[in-house]
Structures are given as C-alpha cells and as structure tokens.
Structure 1
Amino acid sequence: METLINGLHHVTTLAGDTQRNVDFYTDLLGLRLVKKTVNFDAPDVYHLYYGDETGSPGSILTFFPYGSGLPRGRKGVGQLTYTAFSVPTHALQYWMDRLNERSIPYAGPYKRFSETYLRFDDNDGAGIELVFNDEDERMGWNTGRIPAEYVIRGFHTVTLNEANPDRTVKLLTETMQHTLVGEEQGRFRFKAGAGGPGNYVDVQVSPNDVRALQGAGSVHHVAFSTNSDETQLAIREQLMEAGFQPTTVLDRNYFHSIYFREPGGILFEIATNPPGFSVDEPVAELGKNLKLPPQYEARRTALEKALPELIVR
C-alpha cells in the first residue's frame, strides 16, 4: 500500500502575549523561530512557527498570538491536550534543573510506555511534555543556548483527549494508516509508518472529563504529514469515501493543506512536506523577517505597524 500519512507535521495553538510566547519557545525550550508570518485568515495576527533548523515536518509547533486580552482556554475532551517533544534520556536532570531555574512548575518525572517524561504548561496554559528516549536520531536546533546533547529533537507524541474513542480509532487505523502499538491505563498509542518519535499519536480515553474550551493555550489543530500533492489528494479521496468532509486544498505558502473534523471534534489537517520554509528566504535567514503571502503584500506597511514588535533574545 502506498504511504499516504508519514507521521506528524505540525501543531497549531492559540496564544496570548506575543513576546512571552517567543521567549518561552526560543529562550526556554531552545526552538528556532523558523517563520514569522501572519494568520492567512486574520492578517492582523502573527502566525509564528518554531522548530528545528529548517522547520522539518514533525518538529513544528506554531502559534496564533492574539494578545494578552485573549481569555484562557480549558483542557478537556475533544482537544489535543499535550504536545510532547523528544529529548535524549541522559537529558532528564538537565531539563529538571532548567525548569527549576526558570521557575516553571512541572509534574514528574513519570513513566509511560517504558519512557520517562515531564509535564508542564507554557505561559498560556498550553500542555507541553518532554519525553526522554534513545530512539531519536534527529539533531534538533543548536545555537549554543542549550548544549547540543540536551536539545529538543522534534515532536515525540500528541495526546488526543476523547470521551468515546471508537470512531477516532477507526479513522486513524482504517483511513490514516496508523497501527496500534501500545495500551496503558486508558491510553492507546498509534504509530504512523515505522513509528518512533514524531510519528506517535496517543488517544487518551477520558469519558468523565469536562468539554474543552478554546482560548489562549488551546490547540487549534494538528497536522499530519504527507509526501506530495498527489498523496494528499489520495488521502482526501479516502476521507470522503469514509464519510468525512475535507476542505478543498488550500495553499499555505510553505505547504498545501486540507482540513476536517475527526469524530471527537478535533480539527485535523493533512499538510504536504514540500515546498518547505526556505521557499521565500534562505535557511540562514529563517524567521528574521516578516513574510507575507502575496494577497497581503500590498498591506505590508499597515500590517507592520499593527503587529507588535517581537525580539528573539
């Protein structure tokens, strides 16, 4: 069977204050600001992409920072509640010390599927985990702020919080080519392709949880990776045959996208790997300048005045 879904592509979250968001993900977590652009549907709001050196699929956490006036969201069912990053096993003490030094409360270390993890929230309440493992051969992003042997490599897992997971599991396994690889305390782990960090989706069964509310710190959508426009159209056809209603293909400049709601209410995206983030600026310059899609270029001066200044320290 042709591979249509490779694993995770990116996760997009709502945020409050822009500079606090930049500080948390570039300074504390050591991710690279890969792209500084705007929300294509609301261009007076940034769309910030963080990831590894090039913004590889499976490393990209993105944000719409609406400002400090955005009310906080609430974790619950019908939401991606935790985005987990992959770090080497020997980095556990380093990250515990780093979080303590920055006065970031965390829970753990805990064990899950034989791996150790820490759990904490960002400034807006977005759920973050660090999973310590020796499976990941990716290099991550190294600027010297964090020693290379301790840096985040990319995603490990996303957790989907579901009240009734049966139809979501059917979607993952029958249409989206995932395989069940583990079950533990109401948590089911699925892998795409060969599995490994960046290719895992956990479905947490939480029938008694409250319903999630969107707001600052809430995940807007999760995107899965596909190789090309052709594989994207093939998965779109399969989704329609399975009774879903994916959008038409949308051009996001750095990838092409289709969107649909999974049965539990979480917004899924299928995003192409090409053309990538260096399509409009060289790798060495990624994230340094405001990049606008063609339809907003005529409004550049006004948008630059309206958008808050941000600094990568």
Structure 2
Amino acid sequence: MSIKTTGLHHVTAIGGDPQRNADFYLRTLGLRLVKTTVNFDDPGTYHLYYGDESGVPGSLLTFFPWKDAPKGRRGTGQATTTSFSVPANSIGWWKDHLGRAGITTGRITSRDGEDVLTFDDPDGLRLALVAHPQGDPRDPWDNGHVPAEHAIRGLHSVTLSVAEEDATAEMFGELGLTFTGQDSNRLRFGAGEGGPGALVDVVVTPGTPRGVVSTGTVHHVAWRAPDEPTQASWRAELVDRGVNVTSILDRQYFRSIYFREPGGTLLEVATDQPGFAIDEPLLELGRALKLPPWLEPDREQIEHALPKLNLPSENNPAQA
C-alpha cells in the first residue's frame, strides 16, 4: 500500500449569501480570503477560499455560495462537523467573542483530552473550535479582527456521519490513516503523525436519515498529496482496488481526484502545489477575481453575473 496522506488539504461547503459568508469568516473567525475565483463547473457562482496568510494545505475552508439554494440537512453520508484548531488557552475567549457577535454556542466540552466549542455559521454549517493540550505550532493569520494569541491555526479535523462503520474504516486504512481510538460510537483516525490538521472522526448513527447536500452542509473533504506524480500513482492504486475515481482535474491551484467513501461522503485527494500565489502576489491574495485561462474569454459575462464583495482592508496588508 503506497497511499500515505499527511493530513487534510481543505474542506469545501455550500454557503448562502456570499457577502454574509465573507463577513463571518473574515471578520468573526479572522481567516484570510486567499482566493476569489468561481466554481469551475458553474462560473456564475463564486468559489471563496479562506485560510491562513498564504492558504497552506490544512488551513483551508472553501465555499460555493449559492444565495438562493435551498437549505441542506445534516445526516449520514456527509461530513457533519468541520473543526478548527485554536490555542489551548483560547476556548473561553472564543466563546465570549462569538457571543458578542451574536453567535449561539454550545457549552465547552472535553473530548480526547481536548476542549471543544461547537456552533453554526450563519447558514447553519456546523463548526467547532478545538484546543489541543500540546498546542499547534502552525502560524495564525495575524489580522485586526482576532488577536494572534487566540487566532485559528488551521483545520483540526472533520467528523463524518455514517450508518455503518466497517467499509468506511477500511477505506481510511487504504488512504494511509491509522485508527487511534474509539469513544462510544465515535471512531478517530489520524494521518501521518496525527494531531491537529490530520484527523477524521467517524460517528456511527444507524438510525439517522441520509443528509442532503445544499446550503449549510459540506460538499466534500480533501486530503493531501505531495505532488502530481504521487497523486497519479495513488489514483491508479485506488482504481486497481475497484474505487470509482474521477480523472485528474485541474483546479488551477492544485490538481484533484474525487471519489466517495462507502458511507457516502465525497472525498478528494488534492496536491499541495502549485498554491495560491501563482497568479497574484502574496500581499494581494483574494482581492481580485481570478479565472482559469479557459474562462478568461468569458470574464465580462462572469463578472456581470457575480455580486460585488466588500472585503476588509486587513485581508491585504499592503492596503491596510
């Protein structure tokens, strides 16, 4: 078995109003908009990428914001919680901060030795902040909305809901993840050395209805591949095992393959390179609408169809 992902690359969800989405993730959660582009399969819709300063793999939550899409439903066959990593002493600060922003949070709980604070974004997407007791060495995005000592360090984990565990657990083993423990109906798997940014929890709920992917739900979860040759090798290995995998797709800032795990969640394997600075300087990430070469001839039409976005100046240090 050659597949050994080192952790999460990104999570992609479906949002509603794009300005409300940007306001929440930039101002309330303090992330950076590292790329403003479009859904390559539906260019009349934004694809917004939020992460750390440069959008390194493992820091990214991305959105297709469809303003008029119906409300989704969390259930089995989905990633039902996306968790971010924060410093060990910051959960109380975040509970107060979110309360001041009008966000209702759950009580602070402890799970696997970590403090967890759960809440929903304005479209109902289930999020959590998790404080790992050993900390998280990744650098935060330092902006004027969230103090650096409390800021999000990147993704911590995702939680998948399934009706039956065995086949899902087997596939995670095929992706190089290791089973690390179980708490009641929650199983944890880790990639690489584990820890924040490399974890997936599988919650087994046989009686729960299937989820409906739309506004307020996760569309897919992406895992890291170091480069294109490795990704191609992994794809061939998955095909040999009978997995229905897409061809390698050019997402401009990485290359992608997609397939479903047996429980129903759409998974992706995305390359670490080339990254988000290939078409604009680091200090200007996210400010301008970027299109792939094959959509540039339609730029005027696409820009006319997209609503305007107002971004805080802190998103681009040179403009602040």
Normalised to the residue count of structure 2, the TM-score between the two structures is 0.95
Alignment of 1:120-269 (within 5 A): 120-133=119-132, 134-173=134-173, 175-269=174-268
Partner secondary structure for residue 159 of structure 2: strand
CA contact (8 A) 1:71 1:215 kept: yes
The separation in 2 between residues aligned to 1:187 and 1:160, in whole angstroms, is 10
Aligned to 2:19: 19
The residue number in structure 2 matching 1:78 is 77
Q: Is the 8 A contact 1:80 1:219 kept in 2?
A: yes
| Contact 2:2–2:234 (Cα < 8 Å) also in 1 | no
Please tell me whether the aligned partners of residues 14 and 217 of structure 1 are also in contact (alpha carbons under 8 angstroms).
yes
Percent identity at matched positions? 50
CA distance in 1, matches of 2:264, 2:241: 16
| Contact 1:49–1:62 (Cα < 8 Å) also in 2 | yes
Contact 2:120 2:127 in 1 (8 A): yes
Conserved? CA contact 2:3–2:234, under 8 Å: no
Say which SS state the counterpart of residue 108 (structure 1) adopts: coil
CA distance in 2, matches of 1:37, 1:258: 19
Shift of residue 250, structure 1, vs aligned partner:
0.4
Structure 1 equivalent of residue 280 of structure 2 = 281
Q: 1:135, CA displacement in angstroms?
A: 3.0
Q: Structure 1 stretches of 5 or more lacking a match?
A: none
Letter in 2 for 1:191: G
Matched, 1:43 2:53: no
Tell me what 1:118 maps to: 117
Does the 8 Å contact 1:4/1:232 carry over to 2?
no
Give per-residue Cα distances to partners, 1:39-86, cap 9 Å, x unaligned: 00000000000000010100100000111x211100110000000000
Q: Which residue of 1 aligns with 2:317?
A: none
**Residue 34 (structure 2) pairs with residue 4 (structure 1):** no
Q: Alignment partner of 1:148: what SS?
A: coil
- Runs of 4+ in structure 1 deviating by more than 3 angstroms, as ranges, are 1-4
Residues of 2 paired with 1:226 and 1:108: CA distance?
36
**Over aligned residue pairs, what C-alpha RMSD do you find?**
1.0
Contact 1:4 1:227 (C-alpha < 8 Å) held by counterparts: no
1:18-49: per-residue Cα shift (whole Å, max 9, x none)?
A: 10100110000000000000000000000000
- The aligned length equals 311
CA distance in 1, matches of 2:123, 2:101: 16
CA distance in 2 between partners of 1:125 and 1:242 (Å): 36
Q: What secondary structure, in the 3-state scheme, does the structure 2 residue paired with 1:107 have?
A: coil
Shift of 1:191: 0.5
Gaps of at least 5 residues in structure 2 are: 313-320
Q: Alpha-carbon deviation of 1:2? A: 5.3
User: What is the rounded CA distance, in whole Å, between the counterparts of 1:292 and 1:220 in structure 2?
Assistant: 21
Moved more, 231-240 or 15-24: 231-240
- Rounded Cα–Cα distance in structure 2 between residues aligned with 1:269 and 1:102: 33
